[in-house]
Amino acid sequence: MTGAYFATGPCVFCGRVFTFDPERVPSIPVDERGNVTLSGVKHPLCADCMTKINEFREFMGAQPIHVLAGAYEPTEGFPP
């Protein structure tokens, strides 16, 4: 049997609902008040916001955040 899986959810920054691979999508931890934290629940970032973040990082002289291949695509097979 073959198949693919993906998740949908809102981007933590812009709120747009998008599809993603839950194991590969860039995400940040956010606490119950909506503040970025080190120990909150991780929320995904859409590709558009990730591009804007990386453009800003490069402008500020920082390295861009590496986005894993397939982060915004369905994954073949079944979740582990």
CB count within 10 Å of CB 21 equals 20
Structure tokens, 29: 């931890």
> Cα 6 from chain centroid?
12
Q: Who has greater pLDDT, 80 or 25?
A: 25
pLDDT in tens, 16-75: 999 999 889 999 999 888 888 888 889 999 999 999 999 999 999 999 999 999 999 987
* Cα 49 from Cα 13, distance rounded (Å): 7
pLDDT in tens, 52-62: 999 999 999 99
Q: Are strands 7-10 and 4-5 parallel, antiparallel or unpaired?
A: unpaired
At 9, which helix (H) or strand (E)?
A: strand 7-10
